Structures are given as structure tokens and as C-alpha cells.
Amino acid sequence: MISKVSPGIQDAVAGIEDGSTVMIGGFGRAGQPVELIDALIEQGATGLTVVNNNAGNGDTGIAALIGAGRVRKVVCSFPRQVDSHVFDAKYRAGEIELELVPQGNLAERIRAAGSGIGAFYTPTGVGTLVAEGKETRTIDGREYLLEYPLRADYALVSAFKADRWGNLIYRKTARNFGPLMAAAAATTIVQVDEVVELGALDPEAVVTPGIFVNRVVAVGERPWLHDGEFVGTEKVA
């Protein structure tokens, strides 16, 4: 019987080596796998390259990982936010490297890695600073940049529910980068609210098929749900 379910969260993050490239899902805090990141901090891996849309918010999640000094480099589209003080300080102190990638090119580079595309031509960024040093080509009268796949050793993803084969569904805009990163990493580790019986997920509605998932860990219901009903909160997490 296949079971990708890890007994505990430390089992889920076991083996992540120093110097790994780790994709971390989420757009801001939506879909950020905070419990897995906390486990990774405890696990101790350092010298990491982190791929995420942002460079951490507040003092938790990715910000905490950066604050703990475990991140050598961030690949993201939007590091500077009102609450990105942890990254900002490290960056200004020259203690962290930044590779800036426009958001859609970031998503497409991750997709290319997962789907075996060697490189692709994108119109986004043509004529801007991010095009510097990049190959360009005019196709059908429009100019494009050549972009390469972005792969990872590990992906940490937050989904809503999983089955023991690793099939995943997400919740609302927390889906964001999860399905892409799951396919682009050698080892994909997923936290979910709940692991359901095999067959309980509608095969038409599975967003990430289990083929892209290596480990699943249940972390309990998100605080804005109660027994599966949406009850809301006063603020964004």
C-alpha cells in the first residue's frame, strides 16, 4: 500500500541538506507553509536558496527562516513589502543575495522545470532592467526574452486536503504557486489541513496529482475554518 503520509512534521522535512534550493509556496501569507518552515528551522538546514514570490512577511514563516540566518539567496519577484523588515535588514547588510524575476516569468520558469521545457521566449521584461544580459529574439514582429527553467531540490507546499497517494486540492487563492513548485522539485513536501481517504477527492477536481508529491503531513484545520465551515477572522493571517 502506498502511503506518502509522514507521521510527524520533522519526518516530513528530514534530509533537507545544507545548500539546498528550496521552493516555498505562497503569495504573501496565503498558501505559505508556515508549519513546514518552522519544522525546517528546527531541522537546521542552512545556506539555502529560497524560491518564493516574496521574501517574507512580519517575523514568521519565511521571514523567520531568513531571520535565523539559514538563507543564502532569495529568488523572488517582490521582496520589498511593508512588513519585509527581516529581509530588508539582511539585504542592506549584504548578508543575503537577491535574484529578482518578474512574477509571471517566475511562475513560467517553475512550470518549465516541472514540464521538461528547456527554455522559452517571454515578452515580459523586454526593454527593461531585467532583460540585461539576456538573449532576445524577434518572433512574428514581437520581441521576446529567453528564460530558463527554475528547478529545486525541495518544494514546501501548503494545500488544503490530500489523500495517501499525494493527490492535492487547494483552497481559493492559496493555490498560487503550489501546483507549479510541486512539479519542479526533486522532493515535494506538502502540509495539509487533513488527509482524507483514497477516493474521497473528486478526480475531476484534483489540482496536483500525487505523482508530483513525495511526502504529506497533516497540520490540522486552518483557524478560519471550523469543522469544515468558513467562520472567518478579523485579519489576513
Partner 1 sequence: MTGIDREALAARIARDIPEGAYVNLGIGAPTLIANYLPDDLEIILHTENGMLGMGPKPEAGRIDPDLINAGKQPVTELPGAAYFHHADSFGMMRGGHLDVCVLGAFQVSERGDLANWHTGAPDAIPAVGGAMDLAIGAKDVYVMTDLVTRDGTAKIVAECTYPVTGVRCVSRIYTDLAVFDVTPDGLAVTDVFGDTTLDELRTITGLTLLDRTP
Residues that bind a copy of itself (CB under 8 A): 108, 112, 115-123, 137, 139-140, 142, 144, 148, 169-172, 202-205, 207
Find, among 79, 68, 67, 73, the residue nearest to 23 by Cα. 73
Beta 152-158 vs 21-24: how paired, if at all?
A: parallel
Confirm if 154 and 186 have CB atoms less than 8 A apart.
yes
Binding segment for partner 1 (CB under 8 A), chosen from 8-16, 43-51, 65-73, 198-206, is 198-206
Smaller CB distance to partner 1: residue 78 or 148?
78
Distance of alpha carbon 11 from alpha carbon 75, whole angstroms: 26
Give residue 207's identity as a one-letter amino acid code.
V
CA–CA dist 198, 217 (Å, integer): 15
Report the partner that residue 234 touches, choosing among a copy of itself, partner 1, none (CB closer than 5 to 8 A by kind). partner 1
CB 100 within 8 A of CB 92: no
Per partner kind, with CB cut-offs from 5 to 8 A, the member of a copy of itself, partner 1, none near residue 154 is none
- Shortest CB 133 distance to partner 1, Å: 15
* CB closer to a copy of itself out of 58 and 102: 102
One residue of 21, 177, 215, 217 binding partner 1 per CB under 8 A: 177
